[in-house]
Chain A
Amino acid sequence: MIEKHLRMLRVRDDVSLEEEAVLLALISETREVPAKTNFIRAGQRLSSSTLLLEGMMCRHKDLREGERQITDLHLAGDFVDLHGFTLKRLDHHLMTLTPCKVAIVPHERLKSLSEHHPHLSRLYWFCTNMDAASHREWELSLGRRMAIARVSHLLCELRIRFELVGMTNGPAFALPLTQVELAECVGLTPVHVNRIVRQLRERGLADVRRGHVKILDLPGLETLAEFDPNYLYLEKLPR
């Protein structure tokens, strides 16, 4: 059930079979959630965290007139609100982008994990640190990268993250985002994103259409995006 989560963790550190059993036992139940559902609303009191098993979710914040910034995307295998364990409420919403299957992890069990399994506890601390690293990289994109580099950078990041959990097919992967959602990730308008998508295709860098991405020239795309995967912490080290 948590194979993708384990794959994502094991790229960064060893997780023993005993530890795997401990992680599996954190889950109290699984739930199916329809697409486009606000699964957790900002401010809501939390007593559990959510491990995404299947589908895609996002963190987002909205302005009064409805302008939305997606601050992170979550793929199957991600712990989407591990930070909610200590925060007890979120300052952002969590929404499903596709139909999702999620595992519920009660905070009591995470508390017990922190008391009895220091290595796993440190590994989860590392995970929230990785989230922060990702946010810094998105901040750099939103603040400084030109539009085409923002979109390219996101594609480079997603290619690696999907590959980690075994969801790429060579240079291609499914990306079930509407152009509006893609625009909300990179702080552009859908019109602008559509034009960037066309430029990426014309320059032979990437083909993005109807929920599918095919990277045509990875080195070219990475150069354009100034993509350096260091912020994804892909090295295996004792945490």
Chain B
Amino acid sequence: MRYFFHIQNGNGCTRDEEGQEFVDLDAARQSALTGIRSVLGEELMRGIVDLSGRLDICDADDRVLLSIPFTEAVLVQRTRMEQ
């Protein structure tokens, strides 16, 4: 099935006009998480990370199947975790 990854963040909405085929929603979710991390990764290199966005996985009829907040893609550790 074809899934479309639309991103909503501080810069507005980046719509995915093309979409990608995945075997199921879980495979689409994994790819979406990797995508979010790659965008955040470059932001990190610039020193400003915007975690306020979200990625909506939609079907061809623009129905939102899953909404992933960027915060779900990363674990931000602010203090040292005790072992």
Contacts and interface: CB of A to CB of B under 8 A. Distances in A.
B18 A192 contact: no
B71 interface: no
A198 B55 CA distance: 15
Interface stretch (A41-49, A109-117, A183-191): A183-191
Interface residues of A, number: 15
B67 interface: no
B82 to A, nearest CB: 33
Given A191-B7, A191-B32, A180 B20 contact: yes
A83 interface: no
Given A147-B42, A191-B5, A209 B17 contact: yes
Contacts, number: 44
A146 B39 CA distance: 11
B34 A189 contact: yes
Contacts of A189: 31, 34-35, 38-39
Given A146-B42, A147-B42, A192 B35 contact: yes
Nearest to B39: A192
Contacts of B39: 189, 191-192, 195
A178 B45 CA distance: 27
Nearest to A192: B38
A179 interface: yes
Nearest to A147: B42
B5 to A, nearest CB: 6
A194 interface: yes
25 contacts: A147-B42, A189-B31, A189-B35, A189-B38, A189-B39, A190-B5, A190-B20, A190-B31, A191-B5, A191-B7, A191-B31, A191-B32, A191-B34, A191-B36, A191-B55, A192-B35, A192-B38, A192-B39, A192-B42, A194-B5, A194-B14, A194-B16, A209-B17, A210-B17, A210-B18
Interface of B: 5, 7, 14, 16-18, 20, 31-32, 34-36, 38-39, 42, 45, 55
